[in-house]
Amino acid sequence: MTTIQWGIIGCGDVTEVKSGPGFQKAENSVLVAVMRRNGRLAEDYARRHGVSKWYDDGRDLIADPQVNAIYIATPTYAHKEYTLLAAAAGKPVYVEKPMAMNHAECVEMVEACSAAGVPLWVAYYRRTLPRFLKVKELIDSGVIGDIHAVSVNLYQGVRPNQLDGEDQSWRVRPEINGGGQFMDLAVHTLDFLDYALGPIAVAQGYAANQAGNYAAEDIVSSTFVFESGVVGNGLWYFNSREELDRNEIRGSNGTIVFSSFSDDPVRLIRGSSLEEFDIPHPAHVQQPLIQSIVDELNGHGSCPSTGASAARTNRITDQMLHSYYQDQQQTKY
């Protein structure tokens, strides 16, 4: 077995617990270098996490001969740039979600990695988390019969760091994130539905900014249809006075209810019968996906979240947000 020696470009908050330690704890994997534009912060991260090298320029990390795989954890606008640079260097790429600012950028990334002969994976880690695998297992078992419909509802209130100001989160700035909280959160659910039920063929959406706290959309309503014929609807509402995280998959013999972000148990409802499956997440939620990447690089198995699958999610979010950004005459499209 070869030990995969990782370098991280963009060692921000997501890498502190969700992903970074997973590169150290996965079998046949080690984190050898990190990069952040603020060199002081990069050095601090390296010291705290026991990483031997740090950089303040992503090009230097990519060129490091000790680094043989790249994890890109920057804000979304830089995903394509660093992916193309890593591909040109012949190094496998693992990139954060959303994969890119829009579907067109995803296509460029997939094509560049294909031409360079390097694999491309995306951090849709729910594809390997036990709780979500239980949902897929229930679907595949046929316990709820033929799947007919899907409903997604995610309601959140506005957070202090989303308000206008110098410290406003990049996650609600379309020029950095490709959209707002919808692009940061809804993509997780849409990608998992792609994994569990097959690709979504087409979507329509209406988005608006009702509260005026930031430039991005704060509410999105959508209908969508899977290639299999399953129909779906969703409401993502980020100026809500109540919190709700509920997904329903309805079949001819029952319903599966689960959340995308909360710790609620998976529920199987068949008539008056209710079964609950309380399945905790691992300490580092990206570690199982990271392990699947390392295993694939060593010739064993395959990672279920590829550039091709992730690009499908961007294609659907483009369709859902198209009218909003067209009306706003922004540069997303």
For residue 220, give the CATH number of its domain: 3.30.360.10
| Angle at which helices 307-327 and 187-197 cross, to 10° | 130
Residue 172 included in any domain: yes
Q: How many CA atoms lie within 13 A of 323 on its CB side?
A: 12
At 99, which helix (H) or strand (E)? Answer: none
What pLDDT score was predicted for residue 327?
A: 65
- Cβ contact 223:121 at 8 Å: no
Asked whether residue 158 falls in the same domain as residue 52, the answer is no
Instruction: For residue 69, report the phi and psi dihedrals to the nearest 5 degrees.
Output: -155, 145
Q: How many Cα atoms occupy the beta-carbon half-sphere of 267 within 13 Å?
A: 17
Query: Helix crossing, 103-116 with 79-88: angle to 10°?
Result: 10
Total-model pTM: 0.96
Rounded CA-CA distance 225/118 in Å is 32
Same domain, 243 and 121: no
The whole-angstrom separation of Cα 28 and Cα 49 is 18
Contact partners, residue 166, CB within 8 Å, separation at least 6:
none
**One domain, residues 97 and 206:** no
Residue type, 318: D
Token code pair at residue 199 = 């690709």
Residues of the domain holding 24: 4-125+285-301
Separation CA 118–CA 112 (nearest Å): 9
Asked if residue 309 belongs to a domain, the reply is no
Task: Report the chain's terminal Cα–Cα distance, integer Å.
Answer: 44
Shared domain check, 209 and 261: yes
Q: Are 271 and 144 in contact (CB under 8 A)?
A: no
Number of domains comprising the chain:
2
Do residue 269 and residue 131 come from a single domain? Answer: yes
Q: What is the pLDDT of residue 328?
A: 63
CA angle 14, 311, 101 (to 5 degrees): 60
Could you tell me how far CA 36 lies from the centroid of its own chain? 21
* Same-domain check for residues 169 and 214: yes
Say whether both 117 and 134 belong to one domain: no
Tokens of 25: 């704890």
Please state, in angstroms and rounded to a whole number, the distance separating the CA atoms of residues 125 and 303.
10
Whose CA is closest to 74, among 89, 96, 92?
Answer: 96
Does one domain contain both 63 and 79? yes
Q: Quick one: DSSP state of residue 182?
A: I
Q: Residue with structure tokens 């705290």?
A: 48
In a domain, 236, yes or no: yes
List the chain residues with pLDDT less than 50: 330-333
- Which letter does DSSP use for residue 306 in this model? B
Structure-block tokens of residue 245: 């995280």
* Residues 279 and 141 occupy one common structural domain: yes
106 and 238 co-located in one domain: no
* Domain identity same for 220 and 160: yes
